[in-house]
Amino acid sequence: MRQGRWYGRGLRAMLYICALLYLATPLLGYFALEGVFAQARGGGGPALIAPAFVQSPEWRARKLAFQVSRPRFSGDIPPSCPSPCTVYPSAFLLDTSVVEQTLEPAKVGKDAAGHAYQDPNMSKLCGPGAATNALYFWGLTPQQAPAGAYTDPSDGITSTWDAKHNRAYIAYLAWRTQMPGWPQAGMMDQHNPSRGVTLYGMRDGLNWEASRHDAAHWHDYFYTVVWWNQSSAAQFHHAVVDDIASAHVPVIAEVNARLLPNWSPKGQPITHFVTIVGYDDVNGTYVYTDSCGASTGCGSLKDGGTTTVAQAQMWAAITAIPVNPSTAFNAGDGGYVF
């Protein structure tokens, strides 16, 4: 009888404990993760994990085999040859007259409305800047982005931008575009300080916008991520040549900016995005745009325009970024999107 009563009380107690643990697990997990990620980023809120979207294996195999043609819209430039293309020109340069004007805002300054602002996360906008330049070649003119006030959700700072230097489009991609299934609006991570854009965010932002928000087909639309340790300089070159000469769209690469000619080689390594808009196999070079500028204190030695770099030097800048394919907000690094 006592044994039976103890068993009944013990069973009830165990059930109560299990229930409490069940209810507390998310909270315990929050604090456990928060401790890890706060150490990694030096403070801030709980970590947002990007959705681990898995592109169709069949589609991705065709993409890596250069068998995915660029989808077309009325007025778009059609691909120059079927996929896979077998003959490429020895050199090709896209029309950069618009994208070479793209320039991220400064961390401190006056916005398009003449209002003073201070937002340190402005120096992290190389991802939306590179995406702005790439999407121009999908017929998405940066000047079409709505001018007006944009709020950086990581710190709540609002500033106003218009078509000058294509900044309204940068702000739209950074904080307003809404990719289905993403935990927040915009391509940017929303911790403060922001960690910028992951390669997953770049891939999905490009596909969502290039597809004109095609809810049914956007994810397997055109772009995929290639980690550099699963690639080679030759494979990267093939991706650049096929995208530029055949599909007439750029490739976006994540690089250590210190290894590129428009940056000073001195100082800490800087993880950065650039848009490759041309190549020349006779001279062994690539041409790229960089939305970071000297006048805005971003780090580049010049404003806008294009820069020519040796193909081997570009690959070295890409492979200088450690590969981290995790979907954590402070990961998703080490490769290119084509």
pLDDT along the chain (338 residues), means of 10: 28 38 33 23 44 87 95 81 90 97 97 97 96 95 90 96 97 96 92 93 96 94 98 98 96 98 96 98 98 96 97 98 93 97
Residue where the block lists tokens 């404990």: 17
Phi, psi of 256, deg, nearest 5: -85, 105
List of long-range contacts for 60-63, beta carbons under 8 Å, 24+ apart: 60/220, 60/224, 63/224
Closest-CA residue to 259 (of 299, 232, 291, 222): 299
Give the max Cα distance, the chain: 93
125: left (phi over 0), alpha (psi -120 to 50) or beta: alpha
Determine the pLDDT at residue 78: 80
Q: How far is CA 130 from CA 81, 136, 202, 205, 219, in A?
A: 26, 10, 9, 11, 19
Determine the pLDDT at residue 48: 54
pTM reported for the whole predicted model: 0.85
Can you tell me the distance from the alpha carbon of 83 to that of 65, in angstroms, rounded to the nearest whole number? 9
Q: Which helix (H) or strand (E) holds 17?
A: helix 2-41
Determine the pLDDT at residue 51: 66
Can you tell me the distance from the alpha carbon of 272 to that of 52, in angstroms, rounded to the nearest whole number? 22
Determine the pLDDT at residue 73: 78
